[in-house]
Amino acid sequence: MRLIIIIVSFLLEGIVSNFVPMNSFLVPLFTLTALIMIYPLFDEAALYYKYTFITGLAYDLLYTDTILFHAIIFCFMAFLITKLNLVLSDNFINTLIIIGVCILVYRVMTYSVLILVGSVDFNISDLIFSVLRSLIINLIYSLILFLIIKKGQKTKYNF
């Protein structure tokens, strides 16, 4: 079921991107959101890191034409998610906080690396907008995933 959530979120991110206007505040980061939401469903951290790394590789290949870029960043995000989950208890408000922090860190990391290798020029307003533009739709998506996961945990499905 964890795998289904990741695959569906991964594909949905690609589909939704086709319909969202470029300057809107609805930039989907469903793959990252799914990785945050499914963390409590893993008993072993090593397995979670494996899932994260493979998802990052797939993201690199299909969406950004890079190698290991998102695989490394997603692994760092997994580390951050693990640490945040140790500090914060498992409820929806805390999950929203984790998503907010992760989107911020993900955007800052991506932007920093791209500046470092000379792919983009530094512009602080671009960075701030990119974080703000990603928040709304991903918080809504996290609510949907939260409800699905909670319902799944109550039923016979093995999460």
Partner 1 sequence: MYNKRRFDKRYLFILIVLAIALVLVVLTISLNKERNLSPIEKGLKDMGTVVLKVVSAPFNFVIDKIDEMIEKNNVYDKYKELKNKEEQMDSVVAQNENLQSEIDKLKDTLDLNTVLSDKVYMNATVVFRNIDYWYNEITIDKGSKNGIEKGMAVVTPKGLIGQITKVSNYSSTVKLLSNENMSDKISVKIKVKDDYVYGLISMYDSKSNTYTVEGISENVDIEKGADVVTTGMGTIFPSGLMVGTVKKVTTDNFDLSKVVEVKASVDFDDLDYVTVLKRKSE
Q: Which residues bind partner 1 (CB under 8 A)?
A: 11, 14-15, 17-23, 27, 58, 60-69, 72, 110-111, 113-114, 116-117, 119-121, 123, 126, 129-130
Q: Which is nearer to partner 1, 96 or 114 (CB)?
A: 114
| CA–CA separation, 137 and 129 (whole Å) | 14
b vs e for 68-79, b when ≥16 Cβ sit within 10 Å of the residue's Cβ? ebbbbbbbebbe
Q: How far is the CB of 130 from partner 1 (least distance, A)?
A: 5
> For the chain, what is the radius of gyration of the CA atoms?
15
User: What's the closest the beta carbon of residue 153 comes to partner 1, in angstroms?
Assistant: 27
Judged by beta carbon, residue 4 or residue 67, the one nearer partner 1 is 67
Measured in residues, the chain has a length of 159
List the Cα angle 85/100/37 in 5-degree steps: 50
| Shortest reach from residue 92's CB to partner 1, in Å | 27
Q: Closest approach of Cβ 99 to partner 1, in Å?
A: 17
